[in-house]
Amino acid sequence: MRIILFGPPGVGKGTHAKLLSAKLNIPHISTGDMLRKAVAAETELGKKAKAVMDAGQLVSDEIMIGIMRDVLTSEKTKNGFILDGFPRTLPQAEALTHLLNELRMQLNTVVNMEISEREIVDRLGKRLTCRKCGKIYNLNIDKLSNPTKCPNCGGELYQRDDDKPETVLKRLRVYNESTAPVKNYYKNLDLLQNVNASGRIEDINNAILAMLTHR
């Protein structure tokens, strides 16, 4: 299975990619997670990416396409992948098509996850992430007895710098301007399937799974 989870920030791509990865035994490839790791490790890439990410902007296509080339030519993704956060621009989508053609791989589907902007802003303001295991929590939904400690692994929970209110609005603008047009690209390739991403996580995940079995 080669799947793209597509949609605005905060729609639940990371949460659902992790669940699908465990259920289907395919690697979850999150470009955001990869960049955050590079920032934490203070690598050259991390140093370049930090300011861009904190400002809610996109890292350059050239860098992101290079990263994706490394990932897709690795052993890890040989038998499938779930992409989360890539492609985010039309040039990235076109580069991915070329890369997959070169590797003689085909995408099964692009799941377009949809929720209202109001819900996005609300969710991102309440989102906490575990520094250790990466699990994502929502203060409105998850009953956390201690909001600084991950119930899953005991790691530290933190709010992403780019989830602060001023950056969230910027990210939504960037999504609408640069990323949303990618939907049409996949619609024209007859790969796009829409899912309502508002509601219970398990119900939404089952709806996505049902879509995958029809591809």
CB atoms within 10 A of CB 192: 18
Rounded least distance, CB 128 to ligand AMP, Å: 14
Q: Assess 95 for contact with ligand AMP (CB under 6 A).
A: no
What angle in degrees, to the nearest 10, is found between the helix axes of 201-213 and 13-24? 60
* Active-site choice (13, 18, 36, 123): 13
Chosen residue from 3, 4, 8, 9 binding ligand AMP by CB under 6 A: 9
The residues, any chain, with a CB within 8 Å of residue 66's CB and separated by 6 or more, are none
Select the residue interacting with ligand AMP from 81, 86, 185, 186 (CB under 6 A). 86
Q: For 149-166, give one letter per residue: b (16+ CB within 10 A) or e.
A: ebeeeebebeebebbeee
| Candidate list 6, 18, 162, 208; residue touching ligand AMP; CB under 6 A | 162
Helix (H, G, I), strand (E, B), or coil: what is residue 129? Answer: strand
Residue 131 is among the residues annotated as catalytic for this protein: no
When binding is defined by CB under 6 A, the residue of 21, 31, 138, 205 that contacts ligand AMP is 31
Half-sphere exposure of 103 (CA within 13 A, CB side): 22
Q: Which residues of 61-98 are buried (b: 16+ CB within 10 A; e: fewer)?
A: bebbbebbbebbeeeebeebbbbbbbbbbebbbebbee
Q: Which is nearer to ligand AMP, 92 or 205 (CB)?
A: 92
Q: Is 28 in the site for ligand AMP (CB under 6 A)?
A: no
173 classed as catalytic = no
- Please give the size of the binding site for ligand AMP, defined by CB under 6 A: 16
Residue 88 falls in the annotated catalytic set: yes
Q: Contact between 124 and ligand AMP (CB under 6 A)? A: no
Q: From CA 132, how far away is CA 150, in angstroms rounded?
A: 9
* Cis peptide bond upstream of 181, omega within 30: no
The residue from 58, 95, 96, 197 that contacts ligand AMP (CB under 6 A) is 58
Residue 127 falls in the annotated catalytic set: yes
| Interface positions with ligand AMP (CB under 6 A) | 9, 31-32, 35, 52-53, 57-59, 64, 85-86, 88, 92, 162, 171
Residues with catalytic roles = 13, 88, 127, 160, 171
